């Protein structure tokens, strides 16, 4: 796929489409919501903090006057919040064209739990999005060409789905838990694609990764305590992208007519750190269909969300 000349200006008009972006008040999620709104989409910014959500909406509408954008309460670390969001969306009686599973936390120094008792990185990054996608499936399937875009990471490469320590019950390593959750994002996205294809669905599922992008993710996660991360994000800034560029793979996956379900989209530059979006390859752990299938079943059990038929 030749994307060397790709830029956000090439995003086709998105008028008439409704899109949900999780974690849209900052970083990649905000930039994705901004460009989608600029290109005419009706965008719901799913945010856990109402004040941050409102500030993001004001920033967005300053840049795109007349944008069809709104804030919606959505805490990806709470199944009750996810269910409430999906129920409210269903009441609108409209189709959902694109769901962008973006919200995330990275390498939290200590093991924390969500309100549902899940390890916070696995719970927010993977289980929350698994549940949200399943609960929004009836509205997605009403769309003409529904897409689910799931934001993974280069960090999946060191990830391992250890079903005996899935939520770091036995041992917690901040980066281990992050890598596992991001590997789960890819396995989930690919398993969803397989299931949709098998059901003859119009829905496509596309995993993406942003490379390395200057957002709030370090401050919100390992903070100043993690020397390696600080060096990369502070002293090797030339290797990393600004948040707007970090959103390119997400935007490309959400809007390009050339994207196919199951393709993994990431930056084309040195070591996939930044650059125009293209098809990249996950490591073999991201292609393991058996683990993807088992993770799906375990995720259904943990969240209590069972997907409807995808056809």
Ligand X SMILES: NC(=O)c1ccc[n+]([C@@H]2O[C@H](COP(=O)([O-])OP(=O)(O)OC[C@H]3O[C@@H](n4cnc5c(N)ncnc54)[C@H](OP(=O)(O)O)[C@@H]3O)[C@@H](O)[C@H]2O)c1
210 forms part of the interface with ligand X (CB under 6 A): yes
Taking the complex as a whole, the smallest distance from the CB of residue 46 to ligand X amounts, in Å, to 6
Q: Which is nearer to ligand X, 139 or 185 (CB)?
A: 185
Instruction: Tell which one of 3, 26, 167, 255 touches ligand X (CB under 6 A).
Output: 26
Taking the complex as a whole, the smallest distance from the CB of residue 27 to ligand X amounts, in Å, to 2
Please name every residue paired with 295 in a beta bridge, in sequence order, or none if there are none: none
Judged by DSSP in three states, 144 sits in coil
Helix, strand, coil % in the chain, rounded to nearest 5: 45, 15, 40
Judged by DSSP in three states, 287 sits in helix
Cβ neighbours for 10, distance < 8 A, ≥ 6 positions apart: none
150 forms part of the interface with ligand X (CB under 6 A): no
Structure tokens at 16: 């008439």
Q: Which is nearer to ligand X, 76 or 141 (CB)?
A: 76
27 forms part of the interface with ligand X (CB under 6 A): yes
- Strands 98-101 and 213-214, by their bridges, are unpaired
Q: Pseudo-torsion of CA 217, 221, 225, 230, nearest 10°?
A: -20
Q: Which is nearer to ligand X, 7 or 216 (CB)?
A: 216
- Strands 98-101 and 69-73, by their bridges, are unpaired
Number of residues near ligand X (by CB under 6 A): 32
133 forms part of the interface with ligand X (CB under 6 A): no
Pick the closest to residue 190 from 70, 287, 62 (CA basis).
287
Note if 178 is an active site residue. Answer: yes
Q: Which residues within the stretch 39-98 sit at the binding site for ligand X (CB under 6 A)? A: 48-49, 52, 74-77
Catalytic residue list: 178
Residues that bind ligand X (CB under 6 A): 22-23, 25-29, 48-49, 52, 74-77, 102-106, 124-125, 151, 153, 209-210, 212-213, 215-217, 220, 246
């Amino acid at each position: 796929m030749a994307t060397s000349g790709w830029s956000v200006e090439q995003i086709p008009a998105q008028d008439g489409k409704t899109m949900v972006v999780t974690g849209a008040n900052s970083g990649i999620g905000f930039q994705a919501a901004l460009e989608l709104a600029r290109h005419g989409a009706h965008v719901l910014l799913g945010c856990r903090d109402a004040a941050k959500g409102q500030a993001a909406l004001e920033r967005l509408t300053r840049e795109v006057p007349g944008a069809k954008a709104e804030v919606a309460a959505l805490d990806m670390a709470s199944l009750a919040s996810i269910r409430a969001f999906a129920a409210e969306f269903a009441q609108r009686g409209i189709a959902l064209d694109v769901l962008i599973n973006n919200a995330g936390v990275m390498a939290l120094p200590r093991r924390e739990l969500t309100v549902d008792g899940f390890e916070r990185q696995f719970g927010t990054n993977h289980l929350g999005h698994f549940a949200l996608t399943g609960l929004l499936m009836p509205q997605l399937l009403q769309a003409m060409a529904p897409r689910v875009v799931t934001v993974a990471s280069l960090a999946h490469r060191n990830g391992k789905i250890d079903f005996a320590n899935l939520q770091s019950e036995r041992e917690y390593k901040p980066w281990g838990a992050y890598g596992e959750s991001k590997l789960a994002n890819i396995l989930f996205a690919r398993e969803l694609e397989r299931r949709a294809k098998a059901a003859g669905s119009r829905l496509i599922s596309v995993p993406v990764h942003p490379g390395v992008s200057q957002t709030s993710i370090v401050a919100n996660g390992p903070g100043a305590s993690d020397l390696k991360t600080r060096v990369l994000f502070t002293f090797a800034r030339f290797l990393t992208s600004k948040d707007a560029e970090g959103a390119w793979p997400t935007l490309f996956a959400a809007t390009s007519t050339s994207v196919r379900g199951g393709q993994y989209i990431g930056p084309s530059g040195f070591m996939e750190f930044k650059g125009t979006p293209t098809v990249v390859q996950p490591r073999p752990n991201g292609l393991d269909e058996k683990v993807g299938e088992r993770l799906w079943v375990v995720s259904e059990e943990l969240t209590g969300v069972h997907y409807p038929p995808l056809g």
